Amino acid sequence: MFKCFYNKFAAWYLVVVLLLCLFTVNGYTQQPEANYDETRIPAYTLPDPLVLQSGKLVTGEPQWWKERRPEILSLFEMEMYGRAPSTATYLGFSVATQDTNALNGKAIRKEITVHFTKDKQGASMSVLLYLPKLNTPVPVFLGLNFRGNHTIIDDPGISVSAHWKAAEHRRGEDSLSWPVERIIENGYGLATVYYGDIDPDFDDGFLNGIHPLFFREGQTKPDPDEWGSIGAWAWGLSRALDYLVTDGAVDARRVVVIGHSRLGKAALWAGAQDQRFAVVISNNSGCGGAALSKRAFGETVGSINTAFPHWFCMNFRKFNNNEAALPMDQHMLIALIAPRPVYVASAEEDRWADPKGEFLSLLYASPVYSLLGKHGLSVKEMPALNEKVMGTVGYHIRPGRHAITLFDWERYIEFADLHLH
């Protein structure tokens, strides 16, 4: 009996020790519990987007474009998302499928393979494009999807990506996040790419995905200031736009880049870097997206870098549990989008993403909109649930959880109508 007790004890002891090792290796033990209490937010000072690093105030629009904007862009590149190659080493487009009678005759559906290597068997991503049947080039919503192009709508004509986990998902599985027909009926096209085509979302040391294509000879992983996965996804959005520019049915001057959650972070970073995007929309993007890092409310820099070590560049880890040292914050990411229209949306129950921090980024980016001749956020306090704030800068918070819903899309279509029609 004693032996049995002893064995059981030893087994449990081993399990506990193993679990502890695992958590310590991942750094979880070092992460303080998430704070959801406004009164426990650390005192913080936000860098002023209109003060140069030299301490001088930006005097006018030319100085913004020539000095301050490049300074801010470089901070996000060097310290957070990492530098990305500005273009592809090779870029080829081939229309893989086309159906002029999709959605019961209401739309045209195309699939375009974007090749990143001359060798057609090499790295590539597939752009799924739905277009309304109109006689003029149409504005388009462009966003990455989480589970594969075939999951956004139950349409047997959509190919299933061979990349990463796409084949594990059902057709139409994520259709609640993608009201395709509603978008088409409103005169917009919809373009989407499976994010796993660009870079599978796990920490594999950057062996798969597009990073290795750009390694120098002998390089085995990105340098500390080179792109992580969010940088790669944002880069993929710009390469999808490179294709849209060539498609005569699309008005590439009216492309809205949109994303939910981690893909909302990617949409913001794409919109900040690539000024060809006419409108930028972030849905529940939270930490590393629209939410201010220095509030350390909900998800923090330390927790995101620990749970997702591949998302940002290595330099970003300097700010784990040390947000005060950040030379920038997410309001400056929004400022990089100015004077173009930007919309941020939150969900009440999505406290992990810090709704208030998402709202405040818009507010504190607003002086840059004013400098560039536009109105920033028209309110100073968070609006009531379901109330929308529209203008060059848009915002809403709806009841419910972390998701992109029809309610959100209806606001985004309205926002796009306001600016693009």
DSSP state of 169: S
Q: ∠ CA(270), CA(276), CA(278), 5° rounding?
A: 90
Binding of residue 298 to ligand GCU (CB under 6 A): no
Residue type, 163: H
Residue 204's CB: how many other CB atoms inside 10 A?
A: 12
Which of 228, 236, 286, 376 is close enough to bind ligand GCU by CB under 6 A? Answer: 286
Nearer to ligand GCU, 197 or 299 (CB): 299
Tell the smallest beta-carbon distance from residue 85 to ligand GCU (Å): 24
Residue 193 binds to ligand GCU (criterion: CB under 6 A): no
Joined tokens for residue 141:
């919503």
Note if 163 is an active site residue: no
From candidates 113, 126, 149, 261, binder to ligand GCU by CB under 6 A: 261
Smallest separation, CB 420 to ligand GCU (Å): 27
Q: How far is the CB of 298 from ligand GCU (least distance, A)?
A: 9
Query: What is the spatial distance between Cα 49 and Cα 43, in angstroms, rounded to a whole number?
Result: 19
Q: Record the tokens describing residue 80, joined without a space.
A: 């957070």
Counting contacts by CB under 6 A, is residue 110 touching ligand GCU?
Answer: no
**Residues sharing a CB contact under 8 Å with residue 265, sequence separation 6 or more, in sequence order:** 230, 259, 282, 285, 286, 288, 289, 311
- Number of Cβ within a 10 Å radius of residue 221: 13
Instruction: Please identify, using beta-carbon distances, which residue of 114 and 287 lies nearer to ligand GCU.
Output: 287
Task: Name the minimum Å distance from CB 262 to ligand GCU.
Answer: 3
Between 197 and 247, whose beta carbon lies closer to ligand GCU? 197
Which tokens hold the place of 249? 């049915």
Find the catalytic residue in 261, 303, 346, 361. Answer: 261
Residue number with CB closer to ligand GCU (142 or 347): 347
Between 52 and 307, name the residue whose CB sits nearer to ligand GCU. Answer: 307
Q: Say which of 159, 175, 378, 402 is annotated catalytic.
A: 402
201 contributes a contact to ligand GCU by CB under 6 A: no
Contact 108, 135 (CB under 8 A): no
Q: Is 262 in the site for ligand GCU (CB under 6 A)?
A: yes
Output the smallest distance, CB 285 to ligand GCU, in A. Answer: 6
H helices within 159-284, ranges in order? 180-185, 195-198, 229-246, 262-273
Beta bridge partners of 127: 112, 193
Residue pair 176/151 in contact (Cβ under 8 Å)? The answer is no
Helices (H), 1-123: 2-26, 61-63, 69-76, 102-105
Considering the complex, state which of residue 278 and residue 304 has its C-beta at the smaller distance from ligand GCU: 304
* Integer Cα distance of 190 and 386 in angstroms: 25
Shortest approach of ligand GCU to residue 162 CB, angstroms?
A: 23
Positions 336 through 365 that interact with ligand GCU (CB under 6 A): 352
Cα(231)–Cα(208) distance, integer angstroms = 15
- Interface with ligand GCU (CB under 6 A), residue from 197, 299, 350, 408: 299
Binding segment for ligand GCU (CB under 6 A), chosen from 14-22, 101-109, 133-141, 299-307, is 299-307
Of the candidate residues 287, 301, 313, 365, the single one contacting ligand GCU (CB under 6 A) = 287
Q: How far is the CB of 365 from ligand GCU (least distance, A)?
A: 20
Q: Annotated catalytic, 402?
A: yes
SS3 166: helix
**Residue 292 touches ligand GCU, criterion: CB under 6 A:** no
Rounded Cα gap, residues 59 and 160, in angstroms: 52
Ranges of H-type helices in 165-322: 180-185, 195-198, 229-246, 262-273, 301-307
Among 75, 304, 365, 393, contact with ligand GCU (rule: CB under 6 A): 304
How far apart CA 247 and CA 241 sit, in angstroms, is 10
Catalytic (active-site) positions: 261, 402
Q: Which residues bind ligand GCU (CB under 6 A)?
A: 261-262, 286-287, 299, 304, 307, 352
